[in-house]
Structure 1
């Protein structure tokens, strides 16, 4: 995910204007009143092919995710121009504008959403199917960006398991279609007579765009969850870049003033094409996108749109193939991602590699289905308005949405219809559930959590409610909360939870930790201050995804020298692949349940080098009873093999984290560790007295 496993980048088609049934390429009109721009249609074609190539990992499209940004510039230009033309003509209606957008977007989207739900019935596991149906409902009401943002945590499903992930960008467009016309209409009707309406609108759009860009740049550095990716607040400046060009052109036409000759020079357009192409080819960093580098494709797209070079199609941009891809781009975009997700799942389950042939078949299927959708769905509904009246269109959309809601509710009541699939696959489905223990207490990468208290509690109530222990670390510590809580309760230990996603426990050092995220550094500083600033908690349980023992040694030294008792959770395994997914694939190929799966305990799997370094730390303190190792390794591995699956249950929920269904097997380990820790703490207290 660039940022995690995300790499979810998708595009939204900047909607094409309604064309006449019979058109000449030079004289046909936008619904807003301008000539049809074949250069924009060509830019649309390039963008959809870029995203298609990026998602299918085709060489030459390393930065193809910028297609979404290019499309947003196009949609901002076209829709702002249309709204201004309607306002100037005195016939603008928010309802009519919304219906035009609905007529353009909804039918093809509904076909893809319903098709994905039908296909998912046959190939999707119950838990994933429920998530897919819920996301489908959000997609049909233009709120899927919020749904996918909420599902964008450290344990969120991989992008390749979300067939409708790409609809987040359509949601952003719809939200732009709501507020932009409202602002434009308000300014148009309220602007002072002495002021030029277009000047006021230009100033308002510039102000909103500047604030959005500033927010985007700030979020790209401060938001570790990547929420800006799905946020209109962080992306509004992108369609407004196109909108400002439309306002400027509108203003020049009304005032009959010449444009800037240098801006419309062929060299500017060529520079824009080169810049967009370079962004598509070059492997731009996906993390913290959108951000400062997003300015590059936006600038390139804006130069192309503003220059109007070969707008009449006299040249390469007017080639029939390019124009047809531009025509079909919205439907290609809608179909390409579900095709990729479902095909990848089918091939993976059967043990096939995704090579060049398979990728070309997926590209062909995306283009063919896109063309079919354009001619069979998009065009008939846009053209046959005598039959597809506004009332019939709204009624049909309502029926589709209500039917999907009813089916989704039924699916939730029936737990995703598990009877659809072989029963032996359900254990793997249970193991890969994404919920982390005490999720409300587990901080995200921005150091935020749902629970109000600073530290949630676990175990017993303790003496007068005072905490005697604290669990400190990242998800590799938090994953043991169930057995830790049970063991703490048995030993009368009242504990606190101090865990944060993707944030290993360390002593913050300005020089050594300058590369770590600021929220993580602040979290570790505050936790260390809390632990060392009082006698209780006296027991510190630490666990993390450490890369070296140096940080562990420094942390243990500091805690022990401060009089604390330390329970060090040893690393388990680094499998390197999704265990439940691979287990499902193996069972599907075998056609039966596989209740046991063990692999050779090689040094990479067991992280033997790191374990050896940690053992040296333990040896250094072998005479100090206040350092206690909690090692889960012997519970999973024996002799020369490690069990990924045992007794019909997976030991892991992904490639490294233990599964919730099998977590109780570690209760005895923590029970013994807490007994020793309580004894060591009592002894140290007595000696001090």
Structure 2
């Protein structure tokens, strides 16, 4: 295969935005498209190699897998194994368990499936997962397993239809991706069926170029003179357009862009145009062929492998936040390690390791087994809680798993779907209904621990990210239209139950109200843009309150606890892990001025005179003039950046008699409203 330096330059254009994007430097909001650039390049290179060898009658499946093993596995083993000591030292048991699972995912080429399954609302923060980026390697590895036999079969039995069949497959995959971007966005992001079209585009480019070169060679034999697929002027224009499309995606896309979807065609077509047209005779080809870009491209695979572990472990160790200067130092370290890995591992494995193919393949299997076994042990043993932290305490003493345990309220059964399960009520005739999303769930311990709860029975209706508002739901890139319809249906079922049950006196509602700053979808199928959200949410929330009163119940809204946006639980845990110990709650407390702008918007919305129901603010119980508490003694208030922990919620309830305060506020509002009218 003829070497094209501009392809290595294109690899540099792919890896640099990804690294800067993951460094949270806000320079390139669409830097994640670098992965899509890699997919197209991979589809092109793999197909070029396989197709050329098939035409020449010398393709060997075993030789193909040997080359892939030499190319991918040695550096992957080095980086995966290098992560283990830092994970052992710094990760609390639930994090180490997740990390161990990711090692198993690496060893079985299923990282993308693992991270898809872990991508729910209550999943651990993605930025703390050192091997999260291996999902894209798993997509490619699955492609390598399935694609060569398929291509070989098509070439042998349907050679004339090969291009058409691959085109049709890519089109189907693209259609699936666009549909799933709203219906199943998480699966769409991680899984091969909706990513395959990007690799397929690269494959089509490879087949087209091979056939054009073959046709040109044939023409030369009879005196014709054309080895180039396009004229010089067309190649120049195509290369400029291609680079422009990639640049547009990198700078204009952001986390709200449905991905992958039809929008992904922009960078993918850009890459295809460059591969098709921008050879070393063109301006873009020469630009991408610059030595500095080619150099970065050559080490891009190792750079991609190193950057995420460095960033993730920095976030774990510097739990109060990673300064920009540290990120820049880590970026430099990424490329230093990448160069050393390329020089000492990649090049020898690919070019100098003279071993028979059976030994290469058996060594690859042995390495995968070793990584998988190490990961399996950490996974089965629950993250090895008996390890000692740098502070000298064992992780079982720190008990971080309990501190960060998801707070589903009365039971995990009460999350996600409408249920009348006995686990989601405390009596047959509940007088208090708790309704909302995860910020309603985490109130249950506070309410049931309140002094006023001794003679009160509760029932819980909760669904994550589903605000307690009839006929309206959030819709965004993570939660598509199908999810929104499910939220509206859930609240409709709550509505019906409320009509039919006379025992309920109070309806306690809660949500962080992210719906006021997102697109919304109503039960009539109308989509309301973010600019209209506050007004439509206020209107629907007041209609909901009016309806609750019309069926003889009293509504009251509990505002979410104050938050800064930082993971307050990790701050408390970090102090324990790294040696601060007692008094950790003091260093993790925060002032009212540090409260996030997003929380301030929600507070302003809920305390607006336009809202027609009583509102109780948890700030009144968590904050004073000196600041807001993240922990009291050894009890952490929060389990993450905003949800109350089990113990923290119960503590708030006991100290503030929260249920009594909520009922008093609801009754007072009802009396004032009657007096006013």
Say whether the 8 Å CA contact 1:470–1:537 is kept in structure 2.
Answer: no
Q: Does 1:214 align with 2:214?
A: no
Q: Does 1:602 align with 2:571?
A: no
What pairs up with 1:269-288 in 2 under 5 angstroms?
Answer: 269-282=239-252, 284-288=254-258
User: CA-to-partner distance for each residue in 1:509-552, whole Å, 9 max, x for gaps?
Assistant: 69x99999643355235523552464227534321123679454
What pairs up with 1:512-531 in 2 under 5 angstroms?
Answer: 518=481, 519-520=483-484, 522-528=486-492, 530-531=494-495
The offset of 1:149, in angstroms, is 1.4
2:463 maps to which residue? 500
What pairs up with 1:555-570 in 2 under 5 angstroms?
Answer: 555-566=544-555, 568-570=557-559
Q: Does 1:474 align with 2:460?
A: no
Say whether the 8 Å CA contact 1:130–1:408 is kept in structure 2.
Answer: yes
The offset of 1:457, in angstroms, is 4.5
2:210 maps to which residue? 250
- SS of the residue corresponding to residue 542 of structure 1 reads strand
Q: Distance in 2 between matches of 1:663 and 1:638?
A: 18
Q: Distance in 2 between matches of 1:573 and 1:229?
A: 32
Calculate the TM-score normalised by the size of structure 1.
0.78
Decide whether aligned partners of structure 1 residues 380 and 288 sit closer, same or farther in structure 2, where only a CA change above 3 A counts.
same
2:294 maps to which residue? 323
* Structure with higher helix content: 2
Q: Does 1:536 align with 2:501?
A: yes
Decide whether aligned partners of structure 1 residues 517 and 47 sit closer, same or farther in structure 2, where only a CA change above 3 A counts.
closer
Pairing partner for 1:664 from 612, 633, 650: 650
- SS of the residue corresponding to residue 495 of structure 1 reads strand
User: CA-to-partner distance for each residue in 1:84-128, whole Å, 9 max, x for gaps?
Assistant: 223233343433322321221011101100101122222323321
The offset of 1:48, in angstroms, is 1.6
Q: Distance in 1 between matches of 2:502 and 2:167?
A: 54
The offset of 1:334, in angstroms, is 0.9
Decide whether aligned partners of structure 1 residues 137 and 420 sit closer, same or farther in structure 2, where only a CA change above 3 A counts.
farther
2:374 maps to which residue? 404
Say whether the 8 Å CA contact 1:130–1:412 is kept in structure 2.
Answer: yes
Q: Distance in 2 between matches of 1:324 and 1:424?
A: 45
Q: Does 1:343 align with 2:333?
A: no
Taking only aligned residues, the RMSD between alpha carbons, in angstroms, comes to 4.0
The offset of 1:400, in angstroms, is 2.2
1:24 maps to which residue? none
What pairs up with 1:160-179 in 2 under 5 angstroms?
Answer: 160-179=127-146
Q: Does 1:435 align with 2:406?
A: yes
The offset of 1:66, in angstroms, is 1.4
2:30 maps to which residue? 63
Q: Does 1:578 align with 2:587?
A: no
Alignment length (residue pairs): 619
Q: Distance in 1 between matches of 2:55 and 2:71?
A: 23
Decide whether aligned partners of structure 1 residues 36 and 542 sit closer, same or farther in structure 2, where only a CA change above 3 A counts.
same
Q: Distance in 2 between matches of 1:632 and 1:267?
A: 60
Pairing partner for 2:423 from 434, 453, 458: 458
Say whether the 8 Å CA contact 2:398–2:576 is kept in structure 1.
Answer: no
Decide whether aligned partners of structure 1 residues 230 and 496 sit closer, same or farther in structure 2, where only a CA change above 3 A counts.
same
Q: Which runs of 5+ in 2 are unaligned?
A: 220-225, 517-533, 668-677
The offset of 1:311, in angstroms, is 7.3
Decide whether aligned partners of structure 1 residues 470 and 99 sit closer, same or farther in structure 2, where only a CA change above 3 A counts.
farther
What pairs up with 1:276-315 in 2 under 5 angstroms?
Answer: 276-282=246-252, 284-310=254-280, 315=286
Q: Distance in 1 between matches of 2:425 and 2:576?
A: 42
Q: Does 1:652 align with 2:638?
A: yes
Say whether the 8 Å CA contact 1:576–1:655 is kept in structure 2.
Answer: yes
Say whether the 8 Å CA contact 2:406–2:645 is kept in structure 1.
Answer: no
Greater shift, 314-323 or 656-665, is seen at 314-323
Q: Does 1:78 align with 2:45?
A: yes
Pairing partner for 1:236 from 176, 188, 196: 196
Q: Distance in 1 between matches of 2:9 and 2:309?
A: 24
Q: Distance in 2 between matches of 1:149 and 1:134?
A: 13
Q: Does 1:379 align with 2:347?
A: yes
Calculate the TM-score normalised by the size of structure 2.
0.79
Q: Distance in 2 between matches of 1:153 and 1:658?
A: 18
What pairs up with 1:116-131 in 2 under 5 angstroms?
Answer: 116-131=83-98
The offset of 1:250, in angstroms, is 3.2
Greater shift, 180-189 or 283-292, is seen at 283-292
- SS of the residue corresponding to residue 324 of structure 2 reads coil
- SS of the residue corresponding to residue 458 of structure 1 reads helix
Say whether the 8 Å CA contact 1:226–1:288 is kept in structure 2.
Answer: no
Q: Distance in 1 between matches of 2:121 and 2:84?
A: 26
User: CA-to-partner distance for each residue in 1:552-597, whole Å, 9 max, x for gaps?
Assistant: 4432221111223445434432344221223345567873321543
Say whether the 8 Å CA contact 2:469–2:541 is kept in structure 1.
Answer: yes
User: CA-to-partner distance for each residue in 1:577-633, whole Å, 9 max, x for gaps?
Assistant: 221223345567873321543857638759799768867889988xxxxx8x77655
1:188 maps to which residue? 155
Pairing partner for 1:141 from 82, 92, 108: 108
Say whether the 8 Å CA contact 1:229–1:290 is kept in structure 2.
Answer: yes
The offset of 1:233, in angstroms, is 1.6
Say whether the 8 Å CA contact 1:428–1:580 is kept in structure 2.
Answer: no
1:17 maps to which residue? none
